Amino acid sequence: MLVVDFGAQYAQLIARRVRELQVFSRIVPHRISASEVAAMAPSAIILSGGPKSVHVDGAPTLDPEIYELGVPILGICYGAQLIAQQLGGTVGRGMRGEYGRSVLTRHGTSSLMDDSVPAEHDVWMSHFDAITDVPHGFRCTASTPDAPVAMLEDDERRVFGVQFHPEVVHSPYGMGVLRTFLHDRAGCKPTWKMSSVITDQIERIRSQVGGRRAICGLSGGVDSSVAAALVHRAIGAQLTCVYVDTGLMRKGESEQVVETFRRNMGIELIHVDAGQRFFERLAGVTEPEAKRKAIGELFIRIFEEHTGGITEAGFLVQGTLYPDLIESGGVDGTAEVIKSHHNVGGLPDDMTLELVEPLRDLFKDEVRALGTELGLPDEMVWRQPFPGPGLGVRIIGEVTPERVAVLQEADAIVRAEIAAAGLEREIWQAFAVLPDIRSVGVMGDERTYGHPIIIRAVTSDDAMTADWARLPYDLLERMSQRIINEVPGINRVAYDVTSKPPGTIEWE
């Protein structure tokens, strides 16, 4: 089935929920034509939410002829409003919006919710405009205090809309709505599984690369490791991996990555020690986006240098995931840019290698499942996420060898204590941040003027949203004492209790 992307941050989350219901899904841009949809012959279509109002100039629309194809359609949030507007209903202007949890009240029989669903229950809303009148042939089957039409249904045409977001966990009956739409109304059979991704991607990789060589930008994290394993299964010895030690890695990481990779993967690996070059490139650079782009550009230059002996190499394999894409502007360029990801916004325009990104439609937990399916060991699959620019985005301000050394020691303590507490599988990420400030302290009856360390630990399912981890106080105390006692120049430790949103997981 197809998910039509109207610039929503959560279009891929919808596609992921569909896959959890064992139906293959593919995201397509809203500019897709009816003829293109017909050629793809989908069993169903879901219209995503989006940041625009249907009333503003330039708001994304859908080819009206798609409604005439006879394919079952479900509109979510903006998608529901677009259905109402395009098929003759009314979307009110200047109404009071709903953001967050709201109470949905059902009206009569619904084809999307069976009788086991409570007549009143919580749903998650994120809208300003609201549908006030349904098009001819539709019926309103639910409302909320600020959405007169929270569900609209046309059983004959099999076109449905919901104002709330069924794809998020905050709508407890949302998965039931998606399941009913896909399995019962659209007749999609629950037969898709993770091994299907492997089969599909192997075919795509072979088609793209052909008989040429590919270089994988190995970072040691789960994303690039799984990408390397998948591409290697597709093209075998045509793949060479390049591990660039930027000098911005975690303590002891380079040695561990090289040893683990060579022991488990059996792929040609080139190890490049380029720390000095990265520090020279980052000298005096303090703005976050400038740092990301500087690191990304130098990465590519080094990759290009080390393909010199592989004259037929024309491809760069990267472990880009969907959250990386969506935060960098979305698959269709309609989502808001939150930050340039190392694999997305930091690439130079004149790069000579064509990208191979076999994981770009997946979330982190799906990548881990894929890695297990490919036979990778747990020590690779369950490594905590680590940003491509490394510690460069966990140091606020200028990146220097001295500041990296300080952060490496503090970060090692955080990770060691998380592991000792048995929380590695429960915590999505736990790490240290070195801000560009100093504070007064007292150590050994002497006044100090040192740097603080900020500990960041979050829980998440997919990195699109995250909550700060409720770590035990005694664990935080041990971290604080060890960091202050063992890391020179640090005299204060703070804990970040910001969720995403409004913050991001990384600090830069």
Residues annotated as catalytic (active site), given as ranges:
77, 165, 167
Q: Angle at the Cα of 91 (from 89 to 96), degrees rounded to 5?
A: 150
Rounded to 5 degrees, φ, ψ at 376 are: -75, 150
Query: Could you give the CA distance from residue 135 to residue 140 in angstroms, rounded to a whole number?
Result: 10
Nearest of 268, 278, 323 to residue 299 by alpha carbon? 278
Is residue 275 within 8 A of residue 245, CB to CB? The reply is: yes
Query: Could you give the CA distance from residue 344 to residue 93 in angstroms, rounded to a whole number?
Result: 37
Order of strands across the sheet that contains 2-5? 26-29, 2-5, 45-47, 73-76, 159-162, 147-154, 139-144, 98-106, 120-127
Is residue 178 within 8 A of residue 166, CB to CB? The reply is: yes
Q: How far is CA 256 from the centre of its chain?
A: 26
Nearest of 410, 401, 409, 389 to residue 455 by alpha carbon? 410
Q: Using CB atoms within 10 Å of the CB of residue 12, give its burial: 0 to 12 exposed, 13 to 18 middle, 19+ buried.
A: buried
Query: Could you give the CA distance from residue 323 to residue 464 in angstroms, rounded to a whole number?
Result: 6
* Residues contacting residue 403 through CB under 8 Å, at least 6 positions apart: 395, 434
Query: Could you give the CA distance from residue 387 to residue 153 in angstroms, rounded to a whole number?
Result: 44
* Residues contacting residue 320 through CB under 8 Å, at least 6 positions apart: 223, 341, 343, 344, 355, 357, 359, 360
